[in-house]
Homo-oligomer: A and B are copies of this chain.
């Protein structure tokens, strides 16, 4: 069976059953052979052998391992010997007596302030350096050249992985580009002058580039953001093209690495856009990565296959399992999104084999680069190639530098082309990479680890589908959980603007809302919609101040008096409603907010100049407040019991009374919503005086709450002048709660006014004032500064300085607090 370029068989990748059985049989045979060779290659007379053994024994305990990796991660940032000692001691302390004796002794012998502290620090730095050099090829073209020569001596090819992933300034992006150019230029001449090593310098079609570079697209720009694909592609391509031109001119190869999931589509788009340009479309010495831990990896292969069909010249595809598994799982869970990767290792392995077969079949278009240390995966690739009649030079195998020389050698001995992925760059940015590699290498499911720990060869060579079937048998049926009145609280997932669907629906909402601008918003008082002719305020779009978002009525003291009277008259009735009922209304409001989320986000964009993500997150937070407070109320409604013999003691919470809510404009939906539904669900009628800058979004909120079932008398909408209607409300003797978020000046004034207890007031007013100020960010001396800078920038300037919260986080995280809690005024 052979394949032809241009073939578009929908069954491509699905070898006949007979072939599959044969491949499986050959896979096992080749696998056992490889195991044999790897076993024989143990060479105790080489330093690497001892290093491996020592590392394996030190890192055998997972707790020790994690703590040592944490230490290595921060080591480059530590400026003094004392800091090194302190961090080592602190991290090892958490692993307790599982730490090896020699390591404990070393730390104990170097007490704080002692001379030996310096010795300990330099020993630690040396050890980390040794470790790093094991994995990193060098930090100058010359060092890299020496590494490459050593590899060539072992008949092993290389690709230089340029470290320095986190690029957060234009200067860094320029530097990354320059490093790429320098390395290509620095290696091309010297390597061209070396004698050919046919096993690695040519393939079935002739000579292949000796210089091979792997780069990350996101390192070529400070703003690699899928929310604006066209702009990102334009910006990034500008720095990419000179690298491609230089490589092409000097006969080097350029490979585009894949990063996290939300960069994926944009990265393929960029790859296709630039490599599809006339200048590059006939150049075959380029490639890209496909990650098999993504369930739709095969669809990406088909997409690339179709691209090559259009383009004409083939490309290389490096098939990996994927290095961002922890990150993807964590990020998606934090956002409440489905995980974009397989959660079970066997599924990734099985997918990897499917993708391998696809690549082998489509070899004419997509040159296979099978990157793995898993002998089963490698053996399967060899067997599949064999079944398809592909010669050994029709594809290559890739491994990680320093992670398994025995595997490389075994493959080389079999006459195969092996390329080693070789990090290149300075220690400092390399450390994060190193730790990620190490953690992956020593994680429980890692193949190398399994090999070292003596699992039977047959188990290691088992077909992943078979493993899956075995696991399915073992897994107990999921227990039926009783349906709760309300499912547990979870944050509303924000929109994923890396997805075109989400961008489209937002754009639609903006268009729709644009047609509704400029309408009138009357007061809503006891269910009555009241116009105030001659007293109408215009809410303007701050980003285009000629645009009127809405024409809003203005309440006066008389309206305030009527609203308070109406609210007071229904207080007892609302307070007597079971908490479950009030909670159900608020949950209903959450459902309506959810349904109208993009429309509401669009209103925020117009009325407050919110960026899309911020607007979306604000709507999500409003939903969170509803869902969270509803659950809290159900919980709090349960009387606290503290019985002693002969007594039945219960502590019930009662609503305080009518609440005035005076929110700010900067989170125009979330904060008014939280401040309003809190008292409402607790049984307090609310009079909402919205911020003068965002009355239209507040009107939408009130409309939704009434629609959800809040009775007319229980919630009133009184936009107006703070000094007029706000003042009248706060001073009213029938008001029990004043809830305010805003400036310190106004908050303190309200606090003072509310403390006057006018005649006839039968209670003490309660003031909740959240006043000016910004949360602090502390950046520790061992922090990842790249992460910290991005977090600070986003928190401080992500919304033009209009946030009280200042929260560092992953680059793709929104800055909204994930659990709706309001910090106190103190």
Contacts and interface: CB of A to CB of B under 8 A. Distances in A.
Interface string A355-366: 000000000000
Contact of A644 (B649, B748, B756, B818): B818
A754 interface: yes
A647 interface: yes
A473 interface: no
B764 A330 contact: no
Given A334-B646, A642-B819, A645-B333, A755 B751 contact: yes
Contact of A819 (B649, B755, B769, B826): B649
A177 interface: no
Contacts of A748: 757, 764
A491 interface: yes
A623 to B, nearest CB: 16
Nearest to A645: B333
A331 B645 CA distance: 7
A656 B826 contact: yes
Contacts of A785: none
A517 B774 CA distance: 57
A414 interface: no
A76 interface: no
A340 interface: no
A809 interface: yes
A825 interface: yes
A752 B757 contact: yes
Contacts of A754: 755
A647 B333 CA distance: 11
9 contacts: A334-B646, A644-B819, A646-B810, A649-B818, A649-B819, A748-B757, A751-B757, A752-B757, A764-B769
Contact of A645 (B334, B656, B763, B764): B334
Given A334-B645, A491-B644, 17 more contacts: A331-B646, A334-B647, A642-B819, A644-B818, A646-B809, A646-B810, A646-B813, A647-B809, A647-B818, A649-B818, A651-B821, A656-B826, A748-B764, A751-B757, A755-B755, A764-B769, A764-B826
A630 to B, nearest CB: 17
Contacts of A649: 818-819
Interface in A311-355: 329-331, 333-334
Contacts of A764: 748, 751, 769, 825-826
A751 B751 CA distance: 10
Nearest to A757: B748
Contacts of A810: 646
Nearest to A640: B821
Interface of A: 329-331, 333-334, 491, 642, 644-647, 649, 651, 656, 748, 751-752, 754-757, 763-764, 769, 809-810, 813, 818-819, 821, 825-826
A792 to B, nearest CB: 16
Contacts of A656: 826
A751 B647 CA distance: 35
B756 A752 contact: yes
A755 B752 contact: yes
A333 to B, nearest CB: 4
Given A748-B757, A757-B748, A826 B763 contact: yes
Contacts of A813: 646
A508 to B, nearest CB: 30
A257 to B, nearest CB: 23
A40 to B, nearest CB: 44
Contacts of A330: 645-646
Nearest to A807: B647
A734 to B, nearest CB: 15
Contacts of A334: 644-647
A811 to B, nearest CB: 12
A813 B645 CA distance: 12
Closest 3 CB pairs of A and B: A755-B755, A333-B645, A334-B645
Contacts of A769: 764
Contacts of A826: 656, 763-764
A583 to B, nearest CB: 20
A479 to B, nearest CB: 23
A647 B807 CA distance: 11
Contacts of A491: 644
Contacts of A755: 751-752, 754-755
Contacts of A756: 752
Contacts of A644: 333-334, 491, 818-819
A646 B810 CA distance: 8
A645 B742 CA distance: 31
Nearest to A753: B755
A754 B330 CA distance: 47
Contacts of A647: 334, 809, 818
A751 B642 CA distance: 31
Contacts of A752: 755-757
Nearest to A755: B755
A647 B817 CA distance: 11
A748 B764 CA distance: 8
A703 B772 CA distance: 42
A629 to B, nearest CB: 15
A329 B645 CA distance: 9
Nearest to A810: B646
Nearest to A331: B646
Contacts of A329: 645
Nearest to A333: B645
A748 B757 CA distance: 7
A748 B645 CA distance: 38
A220 to B, nearest CB: 26
Contacts of A819: 642, 644, 649
A486 to B, nearest CB: 18
A649 B646 CA distance: 42
Contacts of A642: 819
A769 to B, nearest CB: 7
A697 to B, nearest CB: 27
Contacts of A818: 644, 647, 649
A171 B752 CA distance: 58
A70 to B, nearest CB: 14
A330 B646 CA distance: 6
A156 to B, nearest CB: 38
A304 B754 CA distance: 71
A537 to B, nearest CB: 31
A619 B651 CA distance: 25
A751 B753 CA distance: 11
A751 B809 CA distance: 41
A684 to B, nearest CB: 13
A334 B644 CA distance: 6
A754 B752 CA distance: 8
A466 to B, nearest CB: 32
A315 B645 CA distance: 38
A155 B164 CA distance: 110
A825 B647 CA distance: 24
A723 to B, nearest CB: 19
Nearest to A771: B764
A256 to B, nearest CB: 27
Among A329, A751, A825, max chain B CB count under 10 A is at A751
